[in-house]
């Protein structure tokens, strides 16, 4: 039985801790600076300053989001439990009338809300710059990218917490999280293409491999939501559109949701087995 008031108290504590966390501040500040810089460059274009709108800004941000946001989620998630366990803070918390599941949910919700707030601030300032200096055309695409970026952050946070749940050393958890980030980043477009060539994977198999990578699923979801097609991703994208049609976007969003729920469920099991020490 989960006590909602206990989870709420732990969530608030995690938000306060995140606000004081130098890593979180570095990530949040860096993300805001990058979004503003990309927006400024998109507005500048090639001599067309003041003409570009949200469409160009959205396109410029997709690859940046793919690299930076998962790194934020993986790292913060990896530190969530292992660091407290290493310092003994987790044992102190567990000495209170709380359960392991309440602690894990409190940490997840607190970090998820903190990440969402940081991302919304970055996108909000970027959107304000574009609206003032450029035009408001294609603002819907920008909103879609913002929402899916928050979704990606929560996915990566969930995976990071899974890594953290069974480890005692924060440095070890962060190292594994960075390795996973590199693996997912590599197994993106170029990595999948190289794998397909080496292993002689057919188009259906290539698309299936893409679905196993949350970062690639995010990219496909953004492109489908904005352009309504995946032809830009080559044969695999064309195959996906022809096979799933209007059901493709719900499929991709469902897979992202599974990437949130499953790591959390497995992490809760691992956390219960490992305990506070």
> What is the domain partition of the chain in residue ranges?
4-274
pTM of the predicted model over 0.85: yes
- Pick from 26, 122, 42, 111: nearest CA to 76: 111
Residue 188: pLDDT band (50, 70, 90) is low
Q: How far apart are CA 62 and CA 110, in angstroms?
A: 26
The token pair at 255 is 């897979």
What rounded mean pLDDT belongs to the chain?
84
Q: How far apart are CA 266 and CA 55, in angstroms?
A: 39
- For 65-104, letters b (16+ CB in 10 Å) and e give bbebbbbbbbbbbbbbbbbbbbeeebeebbeeebebebbb
pLDDT in tens, 134-170: 666 778 888 999 999 999 999 999 999 999 998 989 8
pLDDT in tens, 69-112: 999 999 999 999 999 899 888 888 888 888 889 999 999 999 99
* Sign of the CA dihedral with 105 first, then 109, 110, and 112 last: positive
pLDDT at 47: 45
Alpha helices in 88-99 (DSSP H): 89-94
Q: How far apart are CA 109 and CA 126, in angstroms?
A: 25
**Burial label, 168 (beta-carbon count in 10 A; 0-12, 13-18, 19+):** middle
CA distances from 30 to 36, 54, 149 (A): 10, 21, 16
Residue 199: pLDDT band (50, 70, 90) is low
- Is 62 within 8 Å of 152 (Cβ atoms)? no
Diameter of the chain measured on Cα atoms? 63
- Is 57 within 8 Å of 128 (Cβ atoms)? no
């Amino acid at each position: 039985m989960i006590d909602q008031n206990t989870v709420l108290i732990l969530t608030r504590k995690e938000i306060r801790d995140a606000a004081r966390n130098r890593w979180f501040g570095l990530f949040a500040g860096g993300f805001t600076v990058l979004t503003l810089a990309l927006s400024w460059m998109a507005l500048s274009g090639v001599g067309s300053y003041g003409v570009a709108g949200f469409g160009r800004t959205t396109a410029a941000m997709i690859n940046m989001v793919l690299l930076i946001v998962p790194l934020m989620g993986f790292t913060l998630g990896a530190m969530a439990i292992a660091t407290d366990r290493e310092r003994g803070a987790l044992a102190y918390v567990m000495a209170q009338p709380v359960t392991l599941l309440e602690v894990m949910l409190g940490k997840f919700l607190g970090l998820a809300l903190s990440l969402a707030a940081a991302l919304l601030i970055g996108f909000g300032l970027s959107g304000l710059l574009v609206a003032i200096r450029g035009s408001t055309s294609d603002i819907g695409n920008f909103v879609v990218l913002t929402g899916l970026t928050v979704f990606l952050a929560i996915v990566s946070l969930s995976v990071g917490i899974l890594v953290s749940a069974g480890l005692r050393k924060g440095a070890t958890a962060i190292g594994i999280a960075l390795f996973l980030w590199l693996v997912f980043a590599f197994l993106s477009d170029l990595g999948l293409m190289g794998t397909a060539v080496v292993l002689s994977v057919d188009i259906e198999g290539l698309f299936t491999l893409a679905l196993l990578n949350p970062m690639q699923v995010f990219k496909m979801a953004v492109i489908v939501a904005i352009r309504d097609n995946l032809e830009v991703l080559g044969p695999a994208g064309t195959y996906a559109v022809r096979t799933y049609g209007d059901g493709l976007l719900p499929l991709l969003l469902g897979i992202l949701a599974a990437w949130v729920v499953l790591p959390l469920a497995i992490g809760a099991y691992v956390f219960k087995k490992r305990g506070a020490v």
